[in-house]
């Protein structure tokens, strides 16, 4: 089973997945997300990891107290070398691995969904969202597939679903998925864990080009 991990906000003593891109460069003058003062470079890197818009950071080890020596930026498009020699001494770092979602930003995704960083909506939007497994929807993947979302019935003539709902006497929207072998696994124990004590149930099976199944008014346990 795939597990989801997040980055603790206080987890600063870790190997930061950054590499130095340019050395002995100038301070940034534009597109600065934030700047602060830190004694250690990895603290600056951690702040970059916690900001989903951060594309890299500038850090200067030797600095005057209370003078910012950590600059986060959302772009690599900077003029790193045009400044006075006295202003140089910065090192620009660039991430070499995908950043993890901070723990306090994790969404309570349902039905196997996981929290991802989504930047396509641009600044001002919430970049953290749930990525749902196929068939599930909603902000938290809380909307469960119905009979009309059946993978087996997709691509089949519409009268398949019409005939099935007429047999059960319930519209397709009244049915929600409790188990799908290709999603939850083929183990019988998994099937019973998800479907026991639930009734009535409709089972749909496809073998080759043949579709069959059954309707049960009693639960499986």
pLDDT tens digits, one per residue of 1-23: 445 666 665 554 445 578 899 99
Could you state, in order of their start, the residue ranges of all structural domains in the chain? 18-96, 147-216
Q: Which residue has the higher pLDDT, 39 or 134?
A: 39
- pLDDT band at 54, cuts 50/70/90? confident
The predicted model gives 18-41 an average pLDDT of 92
- CATH 1.10.238 applies to domain 18-96: no
The predicted model gives 79-90 an average pLDDT of 91
pLDDT value at residue 103: 84
Distance of CA 57 to the CA centre of its chain: 23
- Cα dihedral sign for 207, 111, 99, 73? positive
- The structure's pTM equals 0.52
Distance CA 130, CA 133 (A): 10
Q: Is the pLDDT of residue 29 over 90?
A: yes
Percent of the chain with pLDDT over 90: 36
Whose CA is closest to 50, among 114, 102, 14?
Answer: 102
pLDDT value at residue 126: 83
């Amino acid at each position: 089973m795939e597990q989801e991990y997040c980055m603790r906000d206080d987890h600063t003593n870790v190997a930061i997945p950054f590499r130095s891109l340019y050395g002995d460069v100038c301070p940034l003058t534009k597109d600065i997300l934030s700047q602060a003062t830190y004694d250690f470079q990895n603290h600056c890197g951690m702040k970059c990891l916690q900001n989903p818009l951060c594309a890299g950071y500038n850090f200067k080890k030797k600095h005057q107290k209370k003078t910012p020596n950590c600059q986060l930026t959302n772009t690599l498009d900077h003029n790193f070398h045009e400044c006075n020699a006295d202003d140089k001494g910065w090192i620009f770092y660039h991430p070499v691995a995908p950043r993890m979602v901070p723990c306090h930003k994790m969404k309570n995704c349902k039905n196997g969904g996981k929290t991802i960083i989504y930047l396509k909506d641009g600044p001002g939007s919430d970049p953290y969202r749930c990525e749902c497994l196929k068939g599930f929807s909603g902000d938290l993947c809380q909307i469960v597939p119905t009979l009309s979302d059946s993978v087996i019935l997709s691509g089949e003539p519409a009268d398949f679903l019409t005939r099935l709902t007429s047999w059960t006497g319930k519209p397709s929207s009244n049915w929600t998925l409790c188990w799908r072998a290709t999603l939850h696994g083929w183990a019988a124990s998994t099937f019973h864990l998800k479907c026991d004590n639930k009734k009535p149930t409709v089972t749909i099976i496809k073998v080759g080009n043949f579709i069959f199944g059954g309707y049960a008014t009693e639960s499986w346990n």
